[in-house]
């Protein structure tokens, strides 16, 4: 009996991250309190030396005070080291808590909305927040509440010393607020320009072959230099603000320490304070202002972290965590598409509208139509990559959004027109990077795709590393290995988008055989095709035009409506009518191959074909 997992409503992102850290944050606050109390060691030691040791000339007293101070200094150092290590682990916990969700969001967001700028910016935002939490910045915020203690001790020395320290603290706090006001705009501008710069460089790198072949290197470099100069200008302005305010704060701090020395000296001259008060009050005020000074020094990294955290919250709110769903049995009966309308990410106009059909197990569907008719858009919705804005895609009655994505992926094989492989070995790519893949299943998938002999011709065979995007392979080799990946572990639904686009005659025969194999084992194969070689093995045909379904039904009946003769049948799947001529689609109408132009239709920029 299937049991639905329990699911509690998610906490807010901030609460989800902070809640497990409450004990660690309390420990940091406690350690900071002890460290700030121990920081009184230096001024009190100086006060005792000046007022007691020098006046009494007692060496034993000096030795005793020195030993006590040394012990307190060592204890303070140990606590400082402990606090730094705890902060480092808090940063690691933050990264561990969110890195999985950030990775998931970066991968899923292009399927939900058009992603402008640098697609890896969320990862950089995560690094910014973790870097700030792991550094010295948070210590300033834990030390700030102890400023009144030091100011109170200054008042105990003398009211004028206290007022001088209070004036300095207020001045530096106002300077910190001023730094925040001036820095926010330029830090945001720096991040935006950096995202644009990285996006442009990544686009150029991804299209390196086109850049080299068409002599675009100089032009692309000029574009990048313009964007890079804008980034440098924004970074310079942000740096000028941060550096100027940092230098001003240091100068003011030195002036205030000199001022408190002058006030202390005046009090000694007036015999209203002892000589030790001069040095002790100077050290005490320095300690009181240190958190403010540290906050100013870390203000830029604080702003980067704060803005990064805001963007992360916005991103993760757009791509919420998937709740657990009830496990469903493996599909084995049918694929049903119910009046599906599809709006590509970032678009306002649907490219597929009101498409509906049903395919039973053991069948194969060919989807044909002119370029821009929505064939590739529909194929993406059939595998769950894009979600329909209306209608449902169902496997054995369950819509795709009712499935756990990882579980559903085991039952789906997908070969997109632009085959994308991952850096790794051929075996890892075919096995979809399973942790402990079955070697027999890998070889079986390769044989089903007609790629086994091809793979063995490599020096390292299945262990050949193919590089990023499969750069070490030709387009035809990538397509054959991509087909093997789609067939791995015999998925129930196999969707192939132009599977023979880059293949020779042997490769096309392997594709036809693979489709026949899916049908023979009781699966469902869907083929988007312009070239006719894969259509002879299908038994159902869907004709698309302008994003709409214009015909659907048995292959021979559909072709009888649009052609006088249908494509020739493949071995093992005889046609119900006469032999069919090869089919091409041109100018919004299917035509025999002898009328079709040469060349391969390409996918349009909006994703329709």
Which pLDDT score is estimated for 596?
39
The C-alpha atoms of residue 457 and residue 195 are separated, in whole angstroms, by: 43
Q: What is the pLDDT of residues 344-362, one digit of tens each?
A: 887 888 999 999 999 999 9
Report pLDDT for 521: 93
Amino acid 582: pLDDT: 39
Average pLDDT, the chain: 82
Angstrom distance (rounded) from CA 325 to CA 405: 10
Instruction: Give the helix/strand (H/E) hosting 412.
Output: strand 412-415
The yes-or-no verdict on residue 400 having pLDDT over 80 is: yes
**What confidence tens digit (pLDDT) does each residue in 151-170 have?**
888 888 888 888 888 888 88
> Please, which pLDDT band fits residue 188 given cuts at 50, 70 and 90?
confident
281 against 587, higher pLDDT: 281
Using pLDDT thresholds of 50, 70 and 90, give the confidence band for residue 520. very high
pLDDT bucket at 606, cuts 50 / 70 / 90:
very low
Residue 563 confidence (pLDDT) = 62
Answer whether residue 391 shows pLDDT above 90.
yes
Top-confidence residue, 361 or 93: 361
CA dihedral (120, 122, 126, 131) positive or negative: positive
Q: Is the dihedral of CA 379, 382, 385, 386 positive or negative?
A: positive
pLDDT at residue 576 is higher than 80 = no
Instruction: Report which listed range, 495-504, 521-530, 556-565, is most confident.
Output: 521-530
Grouping H, G, I as helix, E, B as strand and the rest as coil, residue 541 is strand
Six-digit token pair at 416? 């997109």
CA atoms within 13 A on the CB side of 198: 14
If you average pLDDT over each of 203-212, 470-479, 560-569, which comes out highest? 470-479
Max avg pLDDT among 85-94, 155-164, 235-244, 485-494: 485-494
Distances (CA, A) of 206 to 118, 125, 416: 13, 23, 18
Whether the pTM exceeds 0.75: the reply is no
Average pLDDT over residues 90-115: 81
Crossing angle between the packed helical segments 22-38 and 59-112, to the nearest 10 degrees: 150
For residue 588, what pLDDT is reported? 36
Residue 69 has pLDDT above 50, yes or no: yes
DSSP 436-488: S--HHHHHHHHHHTT-HHHHHTSTTGGG-B--GGGTTS-HHHHHHHHHHHHHT
pLDDT at 16: 66
Only one residue has tokens 């091809």, namely 454
The answer to whether residue 575 scores a pLDDT higher than 60 is no
- Residue 593: which residues within 8 A CB-CB, separation 6 or more? 532, 581, 582, 583, 584
Burial (0-12, 13-18, 19+ Cβ within 10 Å), 161: buried
pLDDT at 246 (0 to 100)? 72
């Amino acid at each position: 009996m299937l049991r639905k997992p329990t699911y509690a409503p998610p906490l807010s992102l901030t609460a989800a991250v902070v809640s497990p850290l409450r004990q660690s944050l309390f420990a940091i606050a406690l350690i900071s309190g002890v460290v700030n109390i121990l920081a009184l060691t230096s001024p009190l030691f100086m006060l005792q030396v000046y007022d007691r040791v020098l006046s009494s000339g007692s060496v034993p007293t000096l030795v005793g005070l020195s030993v006590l101070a040394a012990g307190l200094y060592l204890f303070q150092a140990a606590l400082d080291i402990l606090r730094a290590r705890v902060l480092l682990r808090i940063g690691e916990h933050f990264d561990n808590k969110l890195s999985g969700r950030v990775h998931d969001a970066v991968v899923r967001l292009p399927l939900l909305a058009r992603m402008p700028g640098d697609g890896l910016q969320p990862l950089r935002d995560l690094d910014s927040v973790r870097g700030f939490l792991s550094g010295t910045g948070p210590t300033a915020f834990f030390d700030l509440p102890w400023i009144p203690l030091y100011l109170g001790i200054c008042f105990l020395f003398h009211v004028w010393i206290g007022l001088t320290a209070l004036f300095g603290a207020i001045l530096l706090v106002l300077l910190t607020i001023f730094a925040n006001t001036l820095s926010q705009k330029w830090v945001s501008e720096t991040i935006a320009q950096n995202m644009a710069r990285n996006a442009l460089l990544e686009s150029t790198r991804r299209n390196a072959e086109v850049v080299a072949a068409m002599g675009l290197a100089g032009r692309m470099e000029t574009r990048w230099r313009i964007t890079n100069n804008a980034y440098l200008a924004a970074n310079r302005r942000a740096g000028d603000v941060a550096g100027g305010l940092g230098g001003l704060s240091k100068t003011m701090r030195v002036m205030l320490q000199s001022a408190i020395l002058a006030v202390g000296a005046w009090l000694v001259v007036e015999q209203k304070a002892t000589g030790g008060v001069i040095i002790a009050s100077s050290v005490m005020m320095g300690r009181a202002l240190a958190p403010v000074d540290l906050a100013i020094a870390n203000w830029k990294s604080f702003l980067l972290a704060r803005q990064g955290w805001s963007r992360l919250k916005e991103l993760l709110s757009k791509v919420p965590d998937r709740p657990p769903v009830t496990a469903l049995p493996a599909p084995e009966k049918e694929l049903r598409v119910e009046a599906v309308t599809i709006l590509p990410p970032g678009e306002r106009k649907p490219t597929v509208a009101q498409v509906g059909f049903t395919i039973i197990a053991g069948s194969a569907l060919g989807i044909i139509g002119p370029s821009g008719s929505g064939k590739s858009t529909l194929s993406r919705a059939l595998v769950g990559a894009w979600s329909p804005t209306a209608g449902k895609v169902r496997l054995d009655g369950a819509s795709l959004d009712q499935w756990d994505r990882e579980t559903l992926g085991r039952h789906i094989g997908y070969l997109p027109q632009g085959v994308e492989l991952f850096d790794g070995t051929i075996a890892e790519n075919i096995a979809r990077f399973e942790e402990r893949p079955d070697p027999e299943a890998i070889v079986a998938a390769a044989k089903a795709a007609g790629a086994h002999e091809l793979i063995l011709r490599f020096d390292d065979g299945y262990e050949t590393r193919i590089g990023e995007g499969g750069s070490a392979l030709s387009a035809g080799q990538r397509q054959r290995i991509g087909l093997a990946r789609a067939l791995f572990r015999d998925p129930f639904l196999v969707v192939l988008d132009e599977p023979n686009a880059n293949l020779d005659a042997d490769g096309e025969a392997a594709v036809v055989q693979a489709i026949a194999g899916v049908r023979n084992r009781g699966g469902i194969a869907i083929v988007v095709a312009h070239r006719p070689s894969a259509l002879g093995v299908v038994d159902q045909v869907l004709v698309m035009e302008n994003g709409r379904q214009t015909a659907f039904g048995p292959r021979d009946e559909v072709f009888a409506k649009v052609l006088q003769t249908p494509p020739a049948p493949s071995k093992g799947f005889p046609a119900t009518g006469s032999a069919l001529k090869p089919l091409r689609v041109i100018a919004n109408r299917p035509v025999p191959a002898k009328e079709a132009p040469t060349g391969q239709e390409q996918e349009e920029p909006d994703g329709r074909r």
